Structure 1
Amino acid sequence: MNTAKKLRRSTEGGYARGDETRNRIIEAAVDLFGEHGFDGASTRDIAARAGVNAPALQYYFENKEGVYHACIEAMTDRAWQTLGPPVEHAQKVLSEDADTETLIDAFIGIQDAIADTALAKASKPGRRLFFAREQAGYEPDSATKIISSRIREPLNNATAGLVARISGRAADDPITLIRAFSLHGQLMVFHVAHRSTLTFLGWKTIDAEKAELLRSTIHAQTRALLEAWSRERDEALAAAAKSTR
């Protein structure tokens, strides 16, 4: 399996990140992979949409799989710039004897970052469709492995750890995992089911004001649930202490 071809000049981090031509090819490829899927998008169409000739695409990426991997790498890097800081903060909070309010705030911080990435993608059809196809399992497994190792695993571990501490359950308890995933699902539905969202709400698009309404409403729901689970934890601990007297 081939990976993206290395450039013939000095690069930083494996790619010439500031190279306009390369970035233009990636942007065009994201749109076409989103519209037609990996199998349906051709390198010829990608090159044409990017306004370059086929040799230029081959120079940067060698083949279609190389282009696809570059798209995944670019989207993952961009997502981690937003998600990385709150996830790392949550990991720090979990390593300390933090109180419940701090744990809840850390979870809301991660959720806020997810909102930024999900709602930004929702406004860009190509990115939304690219992500939806990958989520549905229609695209190369190699892409899923990159996203899982760099985004999903640290994100899921942090959020499951926070819900576990808040609720008093184990981090690998199925209830903990379902709760953590469902809290994120509140946001992701507005990204994945974009058309249904707009139809149901009677909106034409999700502008900044509407995005803030979604964000604040979901934050309030999340906080209410986390606080309820923390009360359940405290009640269970109190009952256990009482039974041992």
Structure 2
Amino acid sequence: MTETKRPRRSTEGGYARGEETRLRIIQAAIELFGEHGFLAASTRDIAAKAGVNAPALQYYFENKEGVYRACAEHLADEAWKKFEPVVRNTAQTLESTDDVSVLIEAFVDLQGVMMDKAFETSKAPTLKLFFVREQGGQEPPIATEIIQQRVRRPMNSVATKLIGKICGMPPDDPLTIMRLVSLHGQFMLFHTAPRSILLLFGWASLDAEKIEFVKQTVFSNTRALLRMWAAQPPAAPAPSKPTPSAPPARKRTARVSAKR
């Protein structure tokens, strides 16, 4: 895919108008990519939804791949604005203390920002669909590559380091990663399968009071689990790939007997 083109404006006012137009195209594209997918969303439809002519889209992005890349970059930048402060604070906490209680609270803070972002995205259906399609593996991989590099990797890195330090395990141990998945899984269904979860609770929707209930329950569970894991002896390393074993001795004996 080609690099996203930037507006070629010579004056300050023109540059501002160019950036505004570019953002309008990106926002329209996110909606259409979310609703229809990359293949079905046409550049003509994106331009029409953004209120620009088709050549304007080519002027800013060259082609549909360039628009899709720009959408991923925009979403990654917006997410990182929320996550960067807590990631930076978490990294400082990891360097400055071995106190398990402090480390647990740092993880809870990290989890809280993730939950806020997840619930925020759930209120924007087309934005949510963009991520669902991106994670489903049917869209161009560039979006996953960009979001992984700029957002998910640094978030997961500090999270696994926290769990590893709390539990006395390497951050890249499969059990450490599995524990991270388990802790985040407490709230991800509210994001990925909201209808089923709401029916389970008997709720019509997730208002601010219900979201706060979910968050505080998840925080309580997370603290309890991390304290329990911290009190356990370090787990044994994950088993390596088994080597082929020799045939059982009984069968060898039987074959020898048969020859006799």
TM-score of the two chains, using structure 2 as the length reference: 0.83
Match of 1:52 in 2: 52
Residues 116/232 of structure 1: CA separation in 2 closer, same or farther (3 Å cut): same
Residues 11/180 of structure 1: CA separation in 2 closer, same or farther (3 Å cut): farther
More displaced stretch, 19-28 vs 133-142: 19-28
Gaps of 5+ in 1: 237-245
Residues 107/193 of structure 1: CA separation in 2 closer, same or farther (3 Å cut): same
After superposition, residues 27-38 of structure 1 pair within 5 angstroms as 27-38=27-38
Residues 207/139 of structure 1: CA separation in 2 closer, same or farther (3 Å cut): same
User: How far off its partner does 1:137 sit?
Assistant: 1.2
Residues 157/17 of structure 1: CA separation in 2 closer, same or farther (3 Å cut): farther
Question: Deviations along 1:152-197, whole A, 9 cap, x unmatched?
Answer: 1111111100001111112121111100122112222211112222
Match of 2:171 in 1: 171
Residues 102/24 of structure 1: CA separation in 2 closer, same or farther (3 Å cut): same
Match of 2:242 in 1: none
Match of 1:156 in 2: 156
Q: Which has the larger radius of gyration?
A: 2
Residues 216/164 of structure 1: CA separation in 2 closer, same or farther (3 Å cut): same
Whole-angstrom distance in 2 between the partners of 1:109 and 1:10 = 44
Residues 18/60 of structure 1: CA separation in 2 closer, same or farther (3 Å cut): closer
User: How far off its partner does 1:18 sit?
Assistant: 8.5
Give aligned pairs, total: 233
After superposition, residues 55-74 of structure 1 pair within 5 angstroms as 55-74=55-74
After superposition, residues 201-220 of structure 1 pair within 5 angstroms as 201-220=201-220
Whole-angstrom distance in 2 between the partners of 1:218 and 1:186 = 6
Gaps of 5+ in 2: 237-260
Match of 2:78 in 1: 78
After superposition, residues 100-179 of structure 1 pair within 5 angstroms as 100-179=100-179
Residues 100/120 of structure 1: CA separation in 2 closer, same or farther (3 Å cut): same
Residues 16/180 of structure 1: CA separation in 2 closer, same or farther (3 Å cut): farther
Residues 177/10 of structure 1: CA separation in 2 closer, same or farther (3 Å cut): farther
| Secondary structure of residue in 2 paired with 1:56 | helix
TM-score of the two chains, using structure 1 as the length reference: 0.88
Residues 60/98 of structure 1: CA separation in 2 closer, same or farther (3 Å cut): same
Mapped contact 2:121–2:127 kept (Cα < 8 A): yes
User: How far off its partner does 1:209 sit?
Assistant: 2.0
Whole-angstrom distance in 2 between the partners of 1:122 and 1:167 = 32
Mapped contact 1:3–1:65 kept (Cα < 8 A): no
| Secondary structure of residue in 2 paired with 1:95 | helix
The one-letter amino acid of 1:191's match is: H
Mapped contact 2:7–2:18 kept (Cα < 8 A): no
Residue 200 (str. 1) matches residue 191 (str. 2): no
Question: Deviations along 1:186-243, whole A, 9 cap, x unmatched?
Answer: 2222111122223323333322222212211111111111111112149x9xxxxxxx
Q: Superposition RMSD on alpha carbons, in Å?
A: 2.3
Whole-angstrom distance in 2 between the partners of 1:160 and 1:28 = 36
Match of 1:187 in 2: 187
Mapped contact 2:35–2:130 kept (Cα < 8 A): yes
Match of 2:90 in 1: 90
User: How far off its partner does 1:16 sit?
Assistant: 6.2
